Amino acid sequence: MIDDAGIDYVLQIRQSQTSPVVTLEAVSQPPGGTLQTLIPGRGCGMPTLLVPDLMMAPVRFPPGSYVYELLALADGRRKSAYFGNLEHVDGVAYLP
């Protein structure tokens, strides 16, 4: 296990690696008290996605192929922790 205490996470999902448009973003430290959509691993290294169904609706997040990147933020640094392909199917996202 990885001790991820003190690390904030941002998950970004885009249609391609070069796309400037983020289709879905989940954050562990939301600005201004907004909804926390990514729960840190609390020391176990396994962050959890907690996204309302409205954010996953086909009109906002159409089914299809995407790329994702999980960024880890700590001590003023930003590191790509994980990245890869993702297939989104009618409100359910899974790694192929």
pLDDT for the residue 92: 60
pLDDT for the residue 68: 94
| Domain boundaries defined on the chain | 8-94
pLDDT tens for each residue of 20-78? 999 999 998 888 878 888 887 766 667 788 888 888 888 888 899 999 999 988 888 99
Give the residue with greater pLDDT, 1 vs 88.
88
pLDDT for the residue 1: 56
CB 52 within 8 A of CB 35: yes
pTM: 0.80
pLDDT band at 3 (very low <50, low <70, confident <90, very high): low
Other Cβ atoms less than 10 A from the Cβ of 51: the count is 17
pLDDT band at 2 (very low <50, low <70, confident <90, very high): low
- Residue 85's Cβ-side half-sphere holds a number of Cα atoms within 13 Å equal to 4
